[in-house]
Amino acid sequence: MKMTFSYLLLILMVIVIVYPLLWTIGASFNPGNSLVSTSLIPANPTLSHYRRLFANEGSLFYGQWYWNSLKISFFTMVLSLVFVSMTAYSFSRFRFKGRKNGLVLFLLLQMIPQFSALIAIFVLAQMLGLINSHALLILIYVGGQIPMNTYLLKGYFDSIPLDLDESAKIDGASNTRIFLQIILPLSRPMLAVVAMNGFTGPLGDFALSSVLLRNPEYYTLPIGLYKLVTDKMGASYTTFAAGAILISIPIALVFLALQKHFVSGLTAGGTKG
Query: pLDDT per position in the chain (273 positions), as tens?
Result: 677 888 888 889 888 888 888 888 888 888 776 666 556 777 778 888 888 888 766 557 888 899 999 999 999 999 999 999 999 999 988 888 888 888 888 878 777 777 778 888 889 899 988 899 999 999 999 988 888 899 889 988 998 888 888 899 988 889 899 999 999 988 888 899 899 999 998 988 888 898 899 888 899 999 988 887 776 555 677 888 888 888 888 998 998 888 887 765 554 444 444
User: What pTM did the predictor assign?
Assistant: 0.84
What pLDDT is recorded for position 2? 73
Q: Contact at 8 Å (CB) between 163 and 140?
A: no
What pLDDT is recorded for position 272? 43
- Average pLDDT taken over every residue of the chain: 84
Distance CA 237, CA 225 (A): 10
Helices 237-267 and 2-28, axial angle in degrees (round to 10): 140
Give the model confidence (pLDDT) of 50-64 as tens digits.
Answer: 888 887 665 578 888
What pLDDT is recorded for position 57? 63
Fold of the 45-237+248-267 domain:
MetI-like fold (1.10.3720)
CB < 8 Å & 24+ apart, contacts of 118-121:
118/207, 118/208, 118/211, 121/208, 121/211, 121/212
Q: Contact at 8 Å (CB) between 72 and 219?
A: no
Phi, psi at 175, each rounded to 5°: -60, -40
